[in-house]
């Protein structure tokens, strides 16, 4: 029995011995791998289908995103209204999303309703027809959103900085235009759909309080589909970086705030420097108590928020610093960013600061194991990046054992201002 008058002992997160819950795996009759985590107390389940159908594999700009968005807008037997009403009737949530390399279709539902929902979900992967009226409406709305967003300095900055790092024709660097939407035809969607969904490479991730017959249910409705897990995906792109490192764009002559992006190319998760760089990034600008936040937000008052992060791409990636600041303090903000980089290069991080960040990072890892949905997300990230649990445990080991000297070496290797692209958009 707990003694409520005595506070529990406080334990530092760095002292935790974290273990990543094991994942179960089996294959459908068509060799599609299914990864599952059983857990939780509520009778809910998440099923996510991951297709290698991101813009990395498109021949025509924005085809991947539009195809994914219109998956539930009409099949040979059901129109968009019927499909959406069917999922709503059973209290289910069906979401689609497109990334650079992959595209997902995610179902959240009660276990008892799976038999009613999975057949319709399977129909979306084989019988989509992309009705002309749905495509016309989508393009009209997308063009309107784009026109509105192009007036926002942060939206423009996000587009341009990726172009400078990777090149406009690289999947990570290209962006949509009004002309791209006008060039879309129904046949483009049907061809991409057949190649990358109906006959595409697919993986399935399942989490929640799994029913005992979950394997049989998935095999019943998806094991006979023409998915091709062994499909060769050999498309490669080389970044074509912009040679000019500093750019200043006036997007709104009446604007009062600049969007600032400072970024450089960086190796992906498989590089040996990645884990230490993530720790250094956290110190620089990766959480609310970071150096950039303390200096530029709290001390100088130049911005409401400033963040640094390493992009999560499969192939090449980038280290990015992002903020918005008044145009009268734009240059001063950039100077302070470089000042903080220089300090990390020239001065060892104090033990107190490093201990704080280590506890923060270990606490994040702990919170990411708070339920089956969080655990499957961690496993999905590992699997899609061709990593295993060794990467997870190596990251923990790095957090616990890295020291100021290790991080100073990483800072001197990667935080050279000359290596960074600098963009301001007013």
Rounded CA-CA distance 197/201 in Å is 7
> In this predicted model, what pLDDT tens digit does every residue of 215-253 receive, in sequence order?
999 999 999 999 999 888 877 888 888 889 999 999 988
Same fold, 20-222 and 246-425: yes
> In this predicted model, what pLDDT tens digit does every residue of 169-210 receive, in sequence order?
999 999 999 999 999 999 999 999 999 999 999 999 999 999
Which helix (H) or strand (E) segment is 334 a member of?
A: helix 330-346
- What secondary structure does DSSP assign to 244-269, as a single string? --EEEE-S-TT--EEEEEEEEEE--T
How far lies 103's CA from each of 124, 138, 196, 314, 344, in Å?
Answer: 14, 18, 10, 14, 38
CB 330 within 8 A of CB 424: yes
Q: Which pLDDT score, from 0 to 100, does residue 176 have?
A: 95
> In this predicted model, what pLDDT tens digit does every residue of 142-154 receive, in sequence order?
999 999 999 999 9
> In this predicted model, what pLDDT tens digit does every residue of 76-126 receive, in sequence order?
999 999 999 999 999 999 999 999 999 999 999 999 999 999 999 999 999
CB 329 within 8 A of CB 306: no
- Residue 15's pLDDT band (cuts 50, 70, 90): confident
What's the rounded mean pLDDT across residues 369-394? 94
Which homologous superfamily does the CATH classification assign to the domain defined by 246-425? Metalloenzyme, LuxS/M16 peptidase-like (3.30.830.10)
Query: Strand pairing of 317-326 and 257-266?
Result: antiparallel
Give the least confident one: 14-18, 163-167, 387-391: 14-18
Rounded CA-CA distance 308/264 in Å is 11
Q: Which pLDDT score, from 0 to 100, does residue 225 have?
A: 96
- The upper half-sphere exposure of residue 406, i.e. CA atoms within 13 Å in the direction of its Cβ, equals 17
Q: Which pLDDT score, from 0 to 100, does residue 2 have?
A: 61
Q: Which pLDDT score, from 0 to 100, does residue 367 have?
A: 85
Give yes or no for residue 1 having a pLDDT over 60: no
The pTM (predicted TM-score) of the whole model is: 0.93
Domain boundaries, the chain: 20-222, 246-425
Give yes or no for residue 404 having a pLDDT over 60: yes
Q: What are phi and psi of 371, to 5 degrees?
A: -170, 170
> In this predicted model, what pLDDT tens digit does every residue of 245-281 receive, in sequence order?
999 999 988 889 999 999 999 999 999 999 999 999 9
Q: Which pLDDT score, from 0 to 100, does residue 9 have?
A: 76
Give yes or no for residue 314 having a pLDDT over 80: yes
Query: How many Å is the maximal CA-CA distance in the chain?
Result: 70
Q: Which pLDDT score, from 0 to 100, does residue 242 have?
A: 84
- What secondary structure does DSSP assign to 352-413, as a single string? HHHHHHHHHHHHHHHHTTSSHHHHHHHHHHHHHTT--HHHHHHHHHHHHH--HHHHHHHHHH
Q: What percent of the chain has pLDDT over 70?
A: 99
The length of the chain is 426
- In this structure, which topology does domain 20-222 adopt according to CATH? Cytochrome Bc1 Complex; Chain A, domain 1 (3.30.830)
Query: Strand pairing of 33-38 and 202-208?
Result: parallel
- Eight-class DSSP state of 90: T
- Residue 401's pLDDT band (cuts 50, 70, 90): very high
What's the rounded mean pLDDT across residues 337-366? 95
> In this predicted model, what pLDDT tens digit does every residue of 18-52 receive, in sequence order?
889 999 999 999 999 999 999 988 999 999 999 99
Number of Cβ atoms within 10 Å of the Cβ of 40: 16
Rounded CA-CA distance 360/366 in Å is 10
Q: Which of 235, 234, 200 has its CA nearest to residue 67?
A: 200
- Average predicted confidence (pLDDT) for the chain: 94
Structure-derived torsion over alpha carbons of residues 166, 167, 171, 174, reported in degrees to the nearest 10? 120
């Amino acid at each position: 029995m707990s003694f409520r008058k005595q506070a529990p002992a406080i334990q530092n997160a760095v002292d935790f011995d974290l273990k990543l819950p094991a994942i179960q795996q089996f294959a459908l009759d068509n060799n599609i791998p299914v990864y599952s985590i059983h857990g939780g107390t509520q009778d809910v389940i998440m099923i996510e289908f991951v297709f290698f159908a991101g813009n990395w594999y498109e021949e025509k700009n924005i085809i991947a995103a539009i195809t994914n968005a219109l998956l539930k807008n009409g099949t040979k037997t059901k129109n968009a209204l019927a499909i959406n009403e069917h999922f709503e009737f059973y209290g289910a949530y069906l979401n689609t999303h497109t990334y650079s390399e992959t595209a997902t279709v995610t179902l959240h539902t009660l276990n008892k309703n799976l038999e009613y929902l999975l057949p319709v979900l399977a129909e979306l992967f084989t019988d989509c027809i992309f009705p002309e009226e749905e495509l016309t409406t989508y393009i009209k709305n997308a063009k309107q959103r784009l026109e509105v967003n192009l007036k926002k300095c942060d939206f423009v900055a996000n587009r341009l900085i990726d172009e400078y790092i990777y090149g406009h024709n690289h999947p990570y660097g290209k962006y949509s235009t009004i002309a791209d939407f006008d060039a879309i035809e129904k046949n483009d969607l049907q061809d991409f759909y057949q190649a990358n969904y109906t006959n595409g490479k697919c993986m399935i991730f399942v989490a929640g309080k799994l029913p005992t017959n979950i394997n049989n249910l998935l095999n019943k409705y998806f094991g006979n589909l023409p998915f091709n897990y062994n499909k060769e995906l050999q498309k490669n792109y080389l970044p074509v970086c912009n040679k000019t490192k500093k750019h200043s764009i006036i997007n709104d002559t009446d604007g009062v705030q600049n969007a600032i992006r400072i970024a450089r190319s960086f190796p992906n998760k498989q590089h040996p420097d990645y884990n230490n760089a993530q720790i250094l990034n956290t110190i620089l600008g990766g959480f609310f108590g970071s150096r950039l936040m303390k200096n530029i937000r709290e001390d100088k008052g130049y911005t409401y928020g400033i963040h640094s992060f390493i992009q999560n791409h499969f192939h090449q990636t980038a280290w990015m610093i992002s903020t918005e600041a008044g145009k009268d303090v734009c240059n001063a903000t950039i100077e302070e960013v470089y000042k903080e980089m220089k300090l990390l290069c020239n001065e060892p991080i104090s033990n107190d600061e490093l201990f704080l960040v280590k506890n923060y990072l270990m606490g994040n890892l702990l919170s990411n194991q708070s339920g089956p949905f969080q655990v499957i997300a961690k496993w999905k990230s590992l699997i899609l990046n061709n990593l295993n649990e060794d990467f997870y445990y190596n990251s923990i080991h790095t957090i616990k054992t890295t020291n100021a000297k290790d991080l100073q070496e990483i800072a001197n290797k990667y935080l050279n201002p000359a290596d960074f692209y600098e963009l301001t958009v007013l």
